[in-house]
Amino acid sequence: MQKQNYGYLIIILFSILTFFISPLEVLAYSGTAYDEARAGAGSAPDNLGLDSGMFTKADFSQYGGGFNSANLVDENAKSKAAGGGDSRAILMTSQPSQVGAIWSNLEGGNYVDITKKQTMSMWMYFGPKKHTDGKDFGDGMAFVLQKSSDGANAIAHDGSSIGTGESLGAWGVDDNVDTSTTAGIAATAIQNSWAMEFDTHTNNDSTPGAAAYFDSAVSGQHIAYAYPGDPDTYVKKTKNGLFPFTSDKYYYGMNHQGTKQVDLHDGTWHHLTVTWDPVKFQATCVFNDKNPDGSIGTNPVEIDVPSVKAAEFGGYDNLSDHKLRWGFTATTGSAYEANLIAFESIPSSVEGDATPSITDTTQQKEVTSNGTVNSNDQLAIKYNLKYDSGRDKWSNINAQLVLPENVTYQTGNSSDVIGSVDYGDGQDSEPIYASELTGTNTLDHVLKRNLDSSDRGGPTMATITINGVANNVTTNTDVASVRSTIDSDTLIKDVDMLPFTILKSKPINLVLDKNNISVNPNKSAPITGTVSYVDGTAVKNSDMTVHTNLNGTDLDNFKMSDDDASGNLNFEIPADKLTEDTNILKVYVTDPNGNKTTTSTVKISKRGALALKVDEYSFGSINQVASSILIPRKGDWKIVVDDSREKDSNPWYLSAGTDGLYDSGTKFNGNVIYKNANGIEKILNDSSNTMIASGSKTQDGEQVTNVSQMWNDSEGLLLRSNGSNASGNYSGEMNWVLSDTI
């Protein structure tokens, strides 16, 4: 910050002062200053634009007719009064010896409500890295919350002398060498206020009256905060006089709080987010949290301000309406710079929030930051929008989404629905189509409804969900956080999706010993089977969780027992749970990483049932022949019918079918046949099964029939070769049907 004493200009400028004071919006620039201001305004990142009714330009006439340099300007740094277009930014200063102050229009509804969460996000510009004319930069800007009796005309001043240079228009005015107390300096600052300065000029001149010593305890460009009207903000310094000829003279330093060294005038727009916490009565400021291209800032500067004392704003009585005016002040001395501000969120217009979440629908869990999902898991990527407060609707919301990588969102059909927007008010959700994808992981969707307060009819929230599938990765793969933008007419919000890791695929198999079980009344149903990793990794039973659902109701999950052999599944369904004559049990198993088996189904019949168990079976080996031969079964086949039905139940019938045997796609030249005791052969096919055995329930309790033992070596299921076959191993699938009706 810098102070320029320009009292000697009074006579020179007197004749043209009325020209500058009357048409406040008409700006006159030097060529270099204008070019720099225009370059800044023209490079402003995406922002809301400005409604002139939202801000009030301070009137300095009560301070001796000073000129307020602040103006709403277009992308060419021109105000509408000077022929400019739509306002895109506030130009605070651009030339030497300027003071600018602009305040929220409290009467028009633009203020900070200290009883609610409030967020102000904006872009700030401090000029290029170097002036083309080689001159110095100065002095910077201050963001101010205030409850001053001067209201929208607040500016630091000592009588009719407005604070310039190091004052930044907010801190006390130190140009009077006779001011002997810190209270005297504090009285010239903006009263009942808190300010955060963005200082581009180091002031460390100890000459009394130079008003250039506030930065004696800091160096370089910096951010800091303090209370302008608090005497403790200032440090008294004395230059002793020579009594009785000269008196002591006074000058002042400043107690900066939360000081952070930063580069400000570098030709780049800087992002600032200020959040008011009504519970803690505290402001949190984050600088450089976002790059001009919208990406996440790599070196954000966060400043946590301790709880603000009500006394600093004039006490609780002065805060009875719960409203703080907010705004910016800026100054230049002999040095200059283009100071610009552009807004992304104004809490009195719309205060809203946008937060990310990820649901792993396969594992039925919420994914935490840096959490894990499995390959091929179904994921729901969510953006949760919530309207909190404001005078306006959150309107024309355009979700410009950058979705996590290594997730597939499209199945190939552009008309597929890949997501939805749910407004939480019972109305139908709106679909999001694959055609809205603008890349493999980018999507634009304009919400069909606005968000608003509930007393104005809402809806107050919207959940945007995009469904995808985690890619099948061969190594654990980190998925980085990506930033999406929720753009609109009244609020711009960034959403940083949670980072997570996709674990490499590790499939698990579950094979149950029986899929049909019959139990006597008041008897539990034993369930046994085998759990194994496809890659052969040993199974630690106590790591495996068994999930069961009986007749549509989930039962309590439990761990497999280490008392059983590795991979052996062994549990019972209690008799009192078997409430139906025929009960359907669904079973699957998961490991600690969420790998999951397919779901197996078991039919449990209480009053007895038919059950079939067929072990592996094969036919004998033969040498290649040119004529038709009959190939016998190899080994002892076990085709077992377990009949636990009541005695004298309907006869059972066993039939079989197959589409043949193959070796790597080559069909065996022949057929599986069934040959009865009379020597009649029937070819098994896949269009209709062939009956191969039948039996009756002739006794109480369980009756077991080994069908294969009913055949001699030349009967039953055999393989008929129709001629020459290439050597190889031929295999196929057999379809078995056991029933008690023909």
pLDDT at 311 over 60: yes
Domain contains 312: yes
Q: Predicted confidence band at 82 (pLDDT cuts at 50, 70, 90)?
A: low
Domain count, the chain: 4
Tell me: do 249 and 387 sit in the same domain.
no
Residue 306 near residue 186, CB atoms below 8 Å: no
* β-strand partners of 17: none
Q: How far apart are CA 61 and CA 245, in angstroms?
A: 39
Hey, how many other C-beta atoms are within 10 angstroms of the C-beta on 396? Answer: 12
DSSP 8-state code for residue 151: G
* β-strand partners of 342: 123
* Beta-strand pair 703-706/639-643: antiparallel
Note the pLDDT tens digit of each residue in 251-268. Answer: 999 999 999 999 999 999
pLDDT at 462 over 80: yes
State residue 271's pLDDT score: 97
* Beta-strand pair 398-402/483-487: antiparallel
Query: Lowest mean pLDDT: which of 27-31, 46-50, 667-671, 711-715?
Result: 27-31
Instruction: Determine the average pLDDT of the residues in 588-607.
Output: 91
Tell me: do 79 and 207 sit in the same domain.
yes
Query: Lowest mean pLDDT: which of 114-123, 180-189, 379-388, 733-742?
Result: 733-742
pLDDT at 588 over 50: yes
Tell me: do 159 and 29 sit in the same domain.
yes
pLDDT at 23 over 60: no
Note the pLDDT tens digit of each residue in 317-350. Answer: 999 999 999 999 999 988 889 999 999 999 889 9
CA dihedral sign, ordered 112, 116, 122, 124: positive
Note the pLDDT tens digit of each residue in 672-697. Answer: 999 999 999 999 998 889 999 999 99
Tell me: do 326 and 376 sit in the same domain.
no
pLDDT at 19 over 70: no
Residue 265 near residue 129, CB atoms below 8 Å: yes
Tell me: do 557 and 412 sit in the same domain.
no
Residue 237 near residue 106, CB atoms below 8 Å: no
State residue 652's pLDDT score: 94
Q: Which amino acid is at 200?
A: T
Q: Predicted confidence band at 135 (pLDDT cuts at 50, 70, 90)?
A: confident
Task: Record the tokens describing residue 654, joined without a space.
Answer: 């066993």
Tell me: do 131 and 198 sit in the same domain.
yes
Instruction: Determine the average pLDDT of the residues in 385-390.
Output: 95
Tell me: do 594 and 619 sit in the same domain.
no
pTM, whole model, 2 decimals? 0.68
Instruction: Determine the average pLDDT of the residues in 62-75.
Output: 88
Q: Predicted confidence band at 151 (pLDDT cuts at 50, 70, 90)?
A: very high
State residue 526's pLDDT score: 96
Domain contains 1: no
Domain finish residue from 345, 364, 379: 345
State residue 28's pLDDT score: 42
Tell me: do 284 and 428 sit in the same domain.
no
Q: Predicted confidence band at 224 (pLDDT cuts at 50, 70, 90)?
A: very high
Domain finish residue from 328, 345, 362: 345
- For residue 379, the domain's CATH number is 2.60.40.740
Tell me: do 469 and 598 sit in the same domain.
no
Q: Predicted confidence band at 2 (pLDDT cuts at 50, 70, 90)?
A: very low
Note the pLDDT tens digit of each residue in 609-654. Answer: 788 999 878 888 877 666 788 899 998 889 999 998 888 889 999 9
pLDDT at 20 over 60: no
Domain contains 464: yes
Triad 232, 233, 237: Cα angle to 5°: 85
Note the pLDDT tens digit of each residue in 154-163. Answer: 999 999 899 9
Tell me: do 162 and 79 sit in the same domain.
yes
Could you tell me the residue range of the domain that residue 359 belongs to? 351-503
Tell me: do 373 and 470 sit in the same domain.
yes
* Beta-strand pair 118-125/112-113: unpaired
Instruction: Determine the average pLDDT of the residues in 700-715.
Output: 91
Tell me: do 311 and 329 sit in the same domain.
yes
Q: Predicted confidence band at 12 (pLDDT cuts at 50, 70, 90)?
A: very low
- For residue 601, the domain's CATH number is 2.60.40.10
Q: How far apart are CA 374 and CA 507, in angstroms?
A: 10
State residue 88's pLDDT score: 87
Mean pLDDT of the chain: 90
Triad 92, 94, 96: Cα angle to 5°: 115
Q: Predicted confidence band at 9 (pLDDT cuts at 50, 70, 90)?
A: very low
Domain contains 216: yes
Domain contains 152: yes
Nearest to 432 by CA among 447, 411, 449: 447
pLDDT at 1 over 80: no
Neighbouring residues of 144: CB distance < 8 A, sequence distance ≥ 6: 154, 170, 190, 193, 194, 195, 196, 228, 326, 327, 328, 329
Domain contains 2: no
Q: Predicted confidence band at 22 (pLDDT cuts at 50, 70, 90)?
A: very low
Instruction: Determine the average pLDDT of the residues in 442-458.
Output: 95
Q: Predicted confidence band at 3 (pLDDT cuts at 50, 70, 90)?
A: very low
- For residue 178, the domain's CATH number is 2.60.120.200
State residue 660's pLDDT score: 92
Q: How far apart are CA 298 and CA 586, in angstroms?
A: 50
Domain contains 484: yes
State residue 84's pLDDT score: 66
Domain finish residue from 320, 345, 370: 345
The DSSP result for 161-177, as a single string, is: EE--GGGTTTSPP---T
Neighbouring residues of 93: CB distance < 8 A, sequence distance ≥ 6: 69, 70, 99, 100, 330, 331, 332, 336, 337, 338, 339
Triad 345, 346, 351: Cα angle to 5°: 80
Domain contains 195: yes
pLDDT at 17 over 50: no
